[in-house]
Structure 1
Amino acid sequence: MFSSLSIVHLSVLVLAPMAILSVLFLIFVMVRYRREETSPEWIEARQYADAKGLSQEQWLTLSAMLKRFATAGPFEAITYRHEFDRCVRDQMNAIKEMAPREKMGEALREIREALELATVPEGARWSSTLDLEEKQTVKARPVEQDSSPMHEFYIKHVNDAFFYLTPRHSDIMKEMPVGSRHVIHACHPGDARYEVIAEVADARESPAQVVFGHVFEIKRLQARAHERSAYTLPTPVDMFVVPEENAHDPLPWLYNNDPMSQGTGTFMNLSAGGYAAMLHAAPPPNRAYARVTVTLGREDFPPFTVFSRIVGTVALAENRTLVRAAFVDITPRQKEAIERYVQQTLQQEQEDQTAPEGA
């Protein structure tokens, strides 16, 4: 009897302090969180989120992430893209299962868009694959196949957990099992070409789709070699698709064959190396070349036609496509004329910006 009472008393003596400590810790956490949410910086962050139209559910998701992972203040974390990206990275690393990661990725992408942190300005540098844009084309190959050609993919969807690629040719799916690593090249308009090495998180059929986790180590490969300027003139566009056996030396084939299709487009910008243009057509297939007409508005330099290789496409609504292209048979004299045009245009833009108002 005495032994039994001793055990009971001993248990009470041990467990009671533990229970008291647990309650005190819970009170401490609640007070801390309450103090955080009523601090000036949290009030400012909440007001900003409300102004951007975040719902109560979105705010709860966002604030929970910030409390766990933000290294800066909450307002900085929701107004500076790099701070927000850092929180997203840590949040995703804390979730291991595919379905919860996708769900959180969709929720955070909606929050990112509401906070206007989803779009990287043209010319600004990418910092991770979170900056990829839907409807772009990218190229990829397995890491270990250095000499293999890169295959073309279409960015079907991007959320804050994954990016989803649809291959132009579905038979490439057999080279992309879950866990395999791939070199991916993507172009950011107005800036450069980027390279990442990403791992396949999931491979899906019907429709064929490869899911990659985001990569935060991104390599900037190639900056723009030529200055460019705005150039908004219409042009006829003759589209050619070079056979694979002629891809290594396309010009003889281009000079001796008829176009696959003929249409129109509008230049968006121009440089001595190439251009961006809006085509009134669906995205062209792989190995596409366009013959366009460049008009510089000079009496001493008449309009000229030139072949260009399509290096990037973005599908848009209403059957339109934004293309980036590099000239492949431009002459030195034509290149010099474009460079002069670009310099004059940029100089005029600068003068217009510095001119006093009302002048």
Structure 2
Amino acid sequence: IVCCLFCCFFFDIPATPCVLPFPFGGRVNCAHATGDALRADMDALPITEATGLPYSSSVDGVAHACGHDAHTAILMAAGAALAAAPELPGRVRLIFQPAEEVMPGGALDAIEAGVLNGVDRIFGLHCDPRLPVGQVGVRVGAITSAADLLELRLTSPGGHTSRPHLTADLVHALGTVITNLPAVISRRVDPRSGTILVWGAVHAGEAANAVPEEGVLLGTLRTADHDVWLKMESLVNPAVESLLAPTGVGFTLNYRRGVPPVVCDAESTAYLSAGVDAALGEGGLTSTEQSSGGEDFGWYLEHAPGAFARLGVWDGKGPQRDLHQGTFVLDERALLTGTRVMVHTALSALAGSRD
């Protein structure tokens, strides 16, 4: 759909669409020369929409409950506006990226496909239901956190709960890791790094009087510090081994590297801030806190400088529905706000690169 619409928008304009070699992704280049990139994520979530709105998801169990449909619409409109300009001082590459919600993120596939080749800087934004429409939050430094996944599988000979000394008590071993690993990690990293391990799922056995033979524990490990993120796996593996050694259970730890923090450099953030000011005027630009959530935009910033913004989508009256909820809605006025911000950010960055 994106490629078809762009062929209509840019029929008489020197744009070069290129479909990435994986499902539902693409990039479009507007105008000429080297320049900067604007990125939007496109994927939905395995969530049932409960908004009751006329444009609710028509696919059962799938919904855009994180605003990615808005991001795509905004970038489409920004591309159309940039392409209609009589002349641009450089190229603006539009990246429509799938699989942001699937760790380690579709950004890695996009980068491998070459979307950053010739790109000087990259910019993006994300809906924020905590900010009212008409405001955009920016931040120098980390604006999101790194997020990794832990999957721990334990094995035991099993047995009767009346004779735990004759087997390996798997449930007790799970409890040992659940309670102690977060504490161990918190003592091995700088407490100012915002590092936190939280378990999301645990399962073992069915009967009250049987020691189970298998168990699984799932969780996320997040940190606000890029340097801490780089060494987390090397801290977790020996910690798990030492905690489980006295229990006698077998284990397999699958540590899945997720996404790095999105770290906005000062110069790119200045271009983004100038774009917000030009687009929205006084009162549009605001600061934002670092989120503990992950965002695969961070992978782009491992290769090129850039900045990321929080787009206010709250109507200022109703409840502030959180992201990843089936009831999440946004004020559609934010679509125009986001479009203007993306256009003026691109122009600000292109002008700055010529100075």
- Pick the TM interval, shorter chain: under 0.3
TM-score with structure 1 setting the length: 0.23
Higher normalized helix content (fraction of residues): 1
Which structure would you say has the larger Rg?
Answer: 1
Normalising by structure 2, we get a TM-score of 0.23
